[in-house]
Amino acid sequence: MPEHSLIFPAEEYRRRVSALQSEMARGQLDALLLTTPADVFYTTGFLTRFWESPARPWFVVVPAAGDPVAVIPAIGAELMGRCWIRDIRTWNAPDPVDDGVSLLAETLNSLVPASGRIGIPMGLESHLRMPVGDFLRLQDRIAPRRIADGTGAVYRVREIKSEAEIEKIRASCAIADAAFARVPEFAHQGVPLSRVFCDFQVALLQEGADWVSYVAGGAGQGGYGDVISPADERPLQAGDVLMLDTGAVREGYFCDFDRNFAIGRAADDVRRAHASLYAATEAALTNLRPGMLARDLHRILAEALTREGSVVGGGRLGHGLGLTLTEWPSLTPLDTTELREGMVLTLEPGVEIAPGRILVHEENIVLRAGGPELLSRRAPADLPEIME
Amino acid sequence: MPEHSLIFPAEEYRRRVSALQSEMARGQLDALLLTTPADVFYTTGFLTRFWESPARPWFVVVPAAGDPVAVIPAIGAELMGRCWIRDIRTWNAPDPVDDGVSLLAETLNSLVPASGRIGIPMGLESHLRMPVGDFLRLQDRIAPRRIADGTGAVYRVREIKSEAEIEKIRASCAIADAAFARVPEFAHQGVPLSRVFCDFQVALLQEGADWVSYVAGGAGQGGYGDVISPADERPLQAGDVLMLDTGAVREGYFCDFDRNFAIGRAADDVRRAHASLYAATEAALTNLRPGMLARDLHRILAEALTREGSVVGGGRLGHGLGLTLTEWPSLTPLDTTELREGMVLTLEPGVEIAPGRILVHEENIVLRAGGPELLSRRAPADLPEIME
């Protein structure tokens, strides 16, 4: 009888669960309790935009051995039933009296010995997607079992992408590549930035995105001030630099990279800034190797920018990528995460051209034994100019 | 000097903060700590898709008196600086050593007396968007100040929409109305459901959505099995019922309603089910009044469906709506939230035509003193048929 499963063959999920269980054993965890869209998708294949509704919590319990157990609202039973896991327990959510707490506590108590430890991701870049009040009630209901830090167990497994995952991210990157290639069709002098954002999202959908979870960008004379604001109604003008950044999603996997365009002829300082970003990215592509730490890659990028005469600007200089728009680690001077073969990362150097004027540049890579392999199509060395 | 503020005039935010402070006083709370996109947007006007990155926590503290304080990653300083609040404290996130905890603790300790209580939303339909580990550290750092339940303070204020908010939701509904009107242009026999989802998202963007946070739906012979799955590649066939549901966003406000279409001639049981959903909605539109409870409105809908000879199916029969795709309360037999003037709700009756075949129908309303006012354009009484 063929196994049901969504997005990937069941084998892919079994490998993931087995890897999680190895890390759990190292961390002396008797179960993992997972609550976020990415962790639930990662272990089960359960993919839905329904997470957009904050109304209901969803739980997956990974025991020390054996398949995961889903403890979920009844409205998800049909879709979870098409995934590979067979033990699916449901309640009618939202329930103001007991919103799954009893069912989850029973499940944990049956899977974990009384002296056991239940890991949850609780470290940097994590959160628990359930009400705090219910979490406190749950702790009482599972005592003497204790909640423990399961961040490392989850991060060390999820951060290494399988070839199947890398192909999904590559496909999302190709969609963004195709949409970026169409930007000169709709981003002209006089077109409001809000219109450009709209047309760019349409292009991403037409090129194959299932949905567009993230579009940001900016436009300003000789650089932009900010990379996270929604679009405004200001029309593009000659002398602007337009930046578009996207996290388009295909089969649950994100890309995350940006592209810059000069509107009309680019000023010399803008061209130099772009060349410096290009060179810094090139330095990372040439020198990054498995075994380096996140902070080492930050240094490669930052030193290359300085060598080019630029002032490092923007935020971190890159990060992990995959099931969410950004994943750990962060390319900062403080992050000591080891960069290993199979990690998918963004390289995202940024420079400050002048106060309030920055330029950022981003590529997506997978780290191979011999160094980085690009997943995004390399940006042109010279800043493209939209002349019409 | 004109005040900066985004989306709404500063007065709107001042009224909200003042209303929160009145509820806080009733609940003996000396501050509110807010962490979610909706709560931060509600109090400050800070609107960005950057929340899609789980990397960084963001905090707004509402003191017992005076303006809110933002404690946020430096990358958001520029955008928050364009909002109405003036006290903005930043750190370089993500920081593996101290990701804002010290800065937040200092802020809370300076605003709240040592014997004070700091409210967070911790009840049904809430979550805390920060790492659990940091939350535990924060509790230590603010002692003897205590964390308390601030759910009611936030929910009782946010659930009553101002006229300015109602206009935003009405605008989002109008965008979805216009996109639904175009469905017969692209949903035909032979077109895969995934293509329909894509074209529907494009239509929403073209009709004025800033972004499309939610599209779901289903298609199946004489009804669909599920309303939360992503689209599959199955082509539409004569005899299918197609349902599309959307949460399109304009200026930070959601709509949330669906529409059904028969592909070819609709079967008699499908037409009867649709008529029954229409009649149940009509019963709610006629009989709902402020002062009823959420469970009373559930009963109105459920009894009307039964009277029509239908079997109630799907999940809850509606919910709140506004800054997120769904807000409390829930139209279930258990929810005793009072429905008050100014609340924006969905009416979402569902019926089971046969096992595995459901039909759902949704409208958006604002509750006025005299009863409901529609925000979505009323669906046609007869199920539309796409004949070509």
Identity of the residue in A133, A202, A326 whose CB atom sits nearest the CB atom of B55: A326
**Structure tokens belonging to residue A253:** 């996997």
* Nearest chain B residue to A97, by CA: B334
- For residue A2, what pLDDT band results from cuts at 50, 70 and 90? low
A215 chain-B contacts, CB cut-off 8 A: 49, 211
The answer on pLDDT for B383 being more than 80 is yes
Alpha carbon distance A149, A153 (integer Å): 9
A2–chain B Cβ distance below 8 A for any pair: no
- Regarding beta strands B257-263 and B240-250, do their DSSP bridges make them parallel or antiparallel, or are they unpaired? antiparallel
Q: Going by C-beta distance under 8 Å and a sequence separation of 6 or more, which residues neighbour residue A163? A: none
What's the pLDDT score for residue B2? Answer: 52
A5 Cα to chain B: minimum distance (Å): 14
Tell how strand A31-34 and strand A59-63 pair up. Answer: antiparallel
For residue B91, the chain A residues in CB contact (below 8 A) are none
Q: Which amino acid makes up residue A138?
A: L
B78 touches chain A (CB under 8 A): yes
What's the confidence (pLDDT) of residue A5? 81
Residues from chain B contacting residue A198 (CB–CB below 8 Å): 205-206
Q: Mean pLDDT across the stretch B33-60? A: 98
A1 has pLDDT over 90: no
CATH fold label, A163-386: Creatine Amidinohydrolase (3.90.230)
| Contact at CB, A92 and B198, closer than 8 angstroms | no
pLDDT digits (tens, 9 = 90+) for B169-210: 999 999 999 999 999 999 999 999 999 999 999 999 999 999
Q: Tell if the CB–CB gap between A212 and B210 is shorter than 8 Å.
A: no
Q: In whole angstroms, what is the distance from residue A325 CA to residue A339 CA?
A: 18
Please indicate if any CB of chain B lies within 8 Å of the CB of A387: no
ipTM of the complex: 0.97
Which residue in chain B is spatially nearest to A333 when comparing CA positions? B95
Q: Which residue has the tokens 């992408």?
A: A161
Kindly give, in sequence order, each residue whose CB lies less than 8 Å from that of residue A74, ignoring residues fewer than 6 positions away: A90, A91, A92, A93, B315
Does the distance separating the beta carbons of B213 and A212 come in below 8 Å? no
Q: Inter-chain contact B128–A126, Cβ cutoff 8 Å?
A: no
CA atoms within 13 A on the CB side of B91: 20
Q: Where are the domains of chain B?
A: 10-158, 163-386
Q: Are strands A363-368 and A371-374 parallel, antiparallel or unpaired?
A: antiparallel
Classified as helix, coil or strand, B90 is strand
Helix, coil or strand: residue B38: helix
Q: Residue A219: is its pLDDT beyond 90?
A: yes
* Average pLDDT of every residue of chain B: 97
Window 32-51 of B, Cβ < 8 Å to A: 36, 38, 47-50
CA distance A88 to A68: 9
Residues of B in contact with A225 (CB under 8 A): 78
pLDDT one-digit tens code per residue, B84-112:
999 999 999 999 999 999 999 999 999 99
Give residue-wise pLDDT tens across range A63-91: 999 999 999 999 999 999 999 999 999 99
Structure tokens at B17: 């903060």
The three-state secondary structure class of B110 is helix
Q: Which CATH architecture has domain B10-158?
A: 3-Layer(aba) Sandwich (3.40)
Q: Please answer yes or no on whether A230 and B127 come within 8 Å at the CB atom.
A: no
pLDDT at B226 over 90: no
